[in-house]
A and B are shown apart, each in its own frame.
Chain A
Amino acid sequence: MEIDWGLFVELFARTFTFWWVILPAILLGLIVGAIPGFSAANTIIILLPMTLAMEPEIGLIFMVALYASSRMGAGIPAILVNIPGTAGAAATPLDGYPMTKQGRGQQALAISFVSSVFGGLLTTILALLAMPWLSQVAYHLHSVEMIVIMLFGISLIATIAAKDTLKGLIAGFFGLMIGYIGADVVYETPRGTFGFLELYDKVPLIPALVGLFAVSEAFAVIEGESILTKRGKEAMQKAGWAETWEGVRLAISRWWHIIWTSIIGLVIGVVPGAGAAIASFVAYQQSKTFSKTPELYGTGHLEGLVAPESANNGVTSGTLIPLLVIGVPGGATAAIMAVVLQYHGVAVGPDLFDSQPELAYGAFTAMAVTYALMILTVLPLARYMSKITVVSTTYMAPIIISFTLVGAFVPRAYVFDMYLALAFGVIGYVARKTGYHVAAILIGVILGPLLENYFLRALRISQGDIMVIFSSNLGNIMWVLLIISLFVPMYLDKRRKRLSKQAIPITTDC
């Protein structure tokens, strides 16, 4: 596949003419992304009759724009009310919500928008240019390598647990055990299901997300008049347009951070089935590992917000690569796009680049144009969106409870899932009140079953030989990187403490 610059320019110009499709899709994507239980995949399914009736090119542009904007939409409630719209935004509130509490919600939204847009835009262009090579990544990442990628994500539990390692690890391992509820992947044996048929297919993620973050938060915030601190309230009252521009400036000042964390997202996104949650956890963990100020993470730190938002938008373009290049969808939304294209007689796969380049490359130009239009439309809204944080908890808590619980119902249409969300809400409430991190539990619930899946697959392929996890060169390099990323921060932390101890007598002497 050679790069045809003339075709790219032509495609970009042509895609801009479809602004009338892209703008409504952006608006819709932001709404469905922000509501837990709704996702781009669900929405595209609901709107399937409409997309099937469109021309293939317009239908594809609509779906891509909705997909990209829903990813950004998921970060908005994560920042403002500590409720991630999707699992892909689960790492966003770690630093986004503390910023909101400090009255910097508007700034946090601007940082999130800029990181998402530039992360998404950069990875889309990279995907477009490096598609032939990136498509090979999926061939090289097998079960063994995926185990190490999962462990990168799970090691975030230890990172979150920095204040009290023991409690953090208990929360994470408790989450992993909850994640193992359901039938095993090989023999379909039910495990830990309490006899509920609804749990045979594993613990559904949306009720877990809704319960741990939203319901528990709603029960906790009723103690105060507002979710903002006293200083936060004062800051919010003074906030003007300058706050948005300050957020933009801060995000741009971390341009290098946006680049490398979004590339993490792109690479993880290329692997079918990996997804935005893993990418954002891995990016957050790596960001903290290589930070000069790791102690600030979790307190409303700029880089702690930039990393997951850039990474989860990097995934968006990554998931389209295996779909278009080898015909394997990288995620649920990509799978639905494939169905729509096949309905129109478009066979996805390598031939598409020769037979209908305007569709193959057009998917990426549509994504790039969406990101470009999105920053113009969304950024001015940050000021108004952030006002939601001044709403009294008297009104906010019941609204959060009712709408998120119904959101838990939507994916499977089981009332059982609403009870499940409530049960997770109780777990989350106890966790919050007693100093356990709900994000650590959620990481376990999300990554536990995936890790088990890849682990068992690797064992089955090797006929039970555990050493298979060290059998690939790429995997071994990743193991070394994992060990380095776990132990280097500990060494640096010790070194920092030793240096600061040595520095104290000198200061006193002066």
Chain B
Amino acid sequence: MSDENGQNSGKPEKHSAGAELVLPIAGLIFTIYYFTTIIDVPWTAQVSAFFVGTILIGLIIALIVRTTLAVRRGDSSWSVAPLIAPKSYVPKRLALLGLTLSYVFFIEWGGFTITTFLFLLCAMLLLSGGKNKGLILSLSLALSVGGYFLFIVAFNTRFPRGPVETMLHGVF
């Protein structure tokens, strides 16, 4: 409650409800796509998905109606700000996503050791803003080489293998 001096009487910040609809809309699109893949299949393949999918669509519609009413009342807005907040981290986050995609793309050919080393080095330098280069270099090297010896040499795990692993296979 606001006091007599009018403290806390300023307009409360609107709830950014637009962001909350991103996942349900993705779910809605996926469910519709899923339904298109089971139209002509035996009932055993349909029954559970139709049951769950129909409930999901109903729930999503209920959320859209709830959000629309809240926006019309002025309690919420269609803003998607929470999804990208804080804005200052957006470039770093996108760059990290790009690095991660490159990591997954190149690991098939480069193998675990060298690709992991490059990914760790670049990602840590990105997040640190270029500080502590020596520490980051040694950490990346230690983790990728340590990972090679622990998982590939010691445990003989099915890690992605590339030129480094092939070259060292005869040695270890």
Residues A422 and B96 in contact, CB atoms below 8 Å apart? no
Q: Mark A354-380, 1 if CB is under 8 A from B, else 0.
A: 000000000000000000000000000
Interface residue A67 (Cβ < 8 Å from any Cβ of B): no
Q: Restricting to A153-185, which residues have a CB under 8 Å from any CB of B?
A: 166-167, 169-171, 173-174, 176-178, 180-181, 184-185
Interface residue B145 (Cβ < 8 Å from any Cβ of A): no
Interface residue B172 (Cβ < 8 Å from any Cβ of A): no
State in angstroms the CA–CA spacing of A189 and B44 once bound together. 10
Interface residue B42 (Cβ < 8 Å from any Cβ of A): yes
How many chain A residues touch the partner (CB < 8 A)?
A: 61
Q: With A46-B155, A418-B104 as known contacts, state yes or no: A171 contacts B48, CB within 8 Å.
A: no
Q: Mark B15-28, 1 if CB is under 8 A from A, else 0.
A: 00001101110110
State in angstroms the CA–CA spacing of A405 and B101 once bound together. 11
Which residue of B is nearest A219, CB measured? B93
Interface residue B38 (Cβ < 8 Å from any Cβ of A): yes
Select A222's contact among B55, B116, B127, beta carbons within 8 Å: B127
Residues A406 and B112 in contact, CB atoms below 8 Å apart? yes
Residues B20 and A167 in contact, CB atoms below 8 Å apart? yes
Residues A395 and B139 in contact, CB atoms below 8 Å apart? yes
Residues B23 and A427 in contact, CB atoms below 8 Å apart? yes
Residues A456 and B48 in contact, CB atoms below 8 Å apart? yes
Binds B, one of A16-24, A328-336, A433-441: A433-441
Q: With A406-B160, A413-B158, A434-B22 as known contacts, state yes or no: A393 contacts B100, CB within 8 Å.
A: no
Q: Mark B154-169, 1 if CB is under 8 A from A, else 0.
A: 0111111000000000
Select A402's contact among B85, B108, B116, B157, beta carbons within 8 Å: B116
Main secondary structure of the interface of A (DSSP, over half): helix
Q: Mark B63-97, 1 if CB is under 8 A from A, else 0.
A: 10010000000000000001101100100110011
State in angstroms the CA–CA spacing of A173 and B58 once bound together. 11
Residues A398 and B23 in contact, CB atoms below 8 Å apart? no
Interface residue A77 (Cβ < 8 Å from any Cβ of B): no
Question: Nearest Cβ in chain B — how far from A501, in angstroms?
Answer: 18
Q: With A187-B45, A219-B93 as known contacts, state yes or no: A180 contacts B34, CB within 8 Å.
A: yes
State in angstroms the CA–CA spacing of A377 and B59 once bound together. 49
Residues A192 and B100 in contact, CB atoms below 8 Å apart? no
Residues of chain A contacted by B20 (CB below 8 angstroms): 167, 434-435
Which residue of A is nearest B45, CB measured? A184
Question: Nearest Cβ in chain A — how far from B78, in angstroms?
Answer: 13
Which residue of B is nearest A194, CB measured? B33
Residues B127 and A191 in contact, CB atoms below 8 Å apart? no
Question: Nearest Cβ in chain B — how far from A140, in angstroms?
Answer: 25
State in angstroms the CA–CA spacing of A377 and B133 once bound together. 37
Residues A180 and B41 in contact, CB atoms below 8 Å apart? no
State in angstroms the CA–CA spacing of A322 and B27 once bound together. 39
Residues B156 and A406 in contact, CB atoms below 8 Å apart? no
Select A430's contact among B22, B108, B156, beta carbons within 8 Å: B22
Residues B59 and A170 in contact, CB atoms below 8 Å apart? yes
Which residue of A is nearest B19, CB measured? A434
Which residue of B is nearest A168, CB measured? B59
Residues A192 and B33 in contact, CB atoms below 8 Å apart? yes
Residues A409 and B127 in contact, CB atoms below 8 Å apart? no
How many chain B residues touch the partner (CB < 8 A)?
A: 63
State in angstroms the CA–CA spacing of A494 and B104 once bound together. 50
Residues B23 and A415 in contact, CB atoms below 8 Å apart? no
Q: With A180-B52, A406-B112 as known contacts, state yes or no: A171 contacts B23, CB within 8 Å.
A: yes
Question: Nearest Cβ in chain A — how far from B38, in angstroms?
Answer: 5
Residues A430 and B23 in contact, CB atoms below 8 Å apart? yes
State in angstroms the CA–CA spacing of A431 and B55 once bound together. 19
Question: Nearest Cβ in chain A — how far from B137, in angstroms?
Answer: 12
Residues B63 and A406 in contact, CB atoms below 8 Å apart? no
Residues A166 and B63 in contact, CB atoms below 8 Å apart? yes
Residues A403 and B147 in contact, CB atoms below 8 Å apart? yes
Residues A173 and B107 in contact, CB atoms below 8 Å apart? no
Q: Mark A388-430, 1 if CB is under 8 A from B, else 0.
A: 0000011101110111011001100101001100100001001
Residues of chain B contacted by A506 (CB below 8 angstroms): none
Residues B23 and A418 in contact, CB atoms below 8 Å apart? no
Q: Mark A22-45, 1 if CB is under 8 A from B, else 0.
A: 000000000000000010001100
Residues of chain B contacted by A187 (CB below 8 angstroms): 41-42, 44-45
Question: Nearest Cβ in chain B — how far from A102, in angstroms?
Answer: 23
Residues B127 and A398 in contact, CB atoms below 8 Å apart? yes
State in angstroms the CA–CA spacing of A184 and B43 once bound together. 10
Interface residue A223 (Cβ < 8 Å from any Cβ of B): yes
Residues of chain B contacted by A236 (CB below 8 angstroms): none
State in angstroms the CA–CA spacing of A422 and B104 once bound together. 9
Residues B123 and A431 in contact, CB atoms below 8 Å apart? no
Interface residue B37 (Cβ < 8 Å from any Cβ of A): yes
Residues A176 and B52 in contact, CB atoms below 8 Å apart? yes
Residues B30 and A177 in contact, CB atoms below 8 Å apart? yes
Q: With A177-B34, A434-B22 as known contacts, state yes or no: A184 contacts B44, CB within 8 Å.
A: yes
Select B62's contact among A166, A398, A452, beta carbons within 8 Å: A166
Select A192's contact among B34, B108, B119, beta carbons within 8 Å: B34
Interface residue A443 (Cβ < 8 Å from any Cβ of B): no
Which residue of A is nearest B60, CB measured? A170
Residues of chain A contacted by B100 (CB below 8 angstroms): 215, 401, 405, 422
State in angstroms the CA–CA spacing of A427 and B66 once bound together. 22
State in angstroms the CA–CA spacing of A177 and B55 once bound together. 11
Residues B104 and A415 in contact, CB atoms below 8 Å apart? yes
Q: Restricting to B119-172, which residues have a CB under 8 Å from any CB of A?
A: 119-120, 123-124, 127-128, 136, 139, 143, 147, 151, 155-160
Q: Nearest 3 CB-CB pairs, A to B?
A: A184-B45, A398-B123, A192-B34
25 contacts between A and B (CB under 8 A): A42-B157, A46-B156, A46-B157, A170-B56, A170-B63, A171-B23, A173-B52, A174-B56, A177-B27, A180-B48, A189-B41, A189-B45, A191-B34, A192-B37, A193-B37, A398-B120, A402-B119, A402-B123, A403-B147, A409-B159, A418-B107, A433-B82, A433-B83, A448-B52, A456-B47
Given contacts A189-B41, A222-B93, A402-B103, 20 further A-B contacts (CB under 8 A): A46-B155, A46-B157, A166-B62, A174-B56, A186-B45, A187-B41, A187-B42, A189-B38, A222-B127, A394-B128, A397-B127, A398-B123, A398-B124, A398-B127, A405-B103, A413-B158, A433-B85, A434-B83, A436-B23, A456-B48
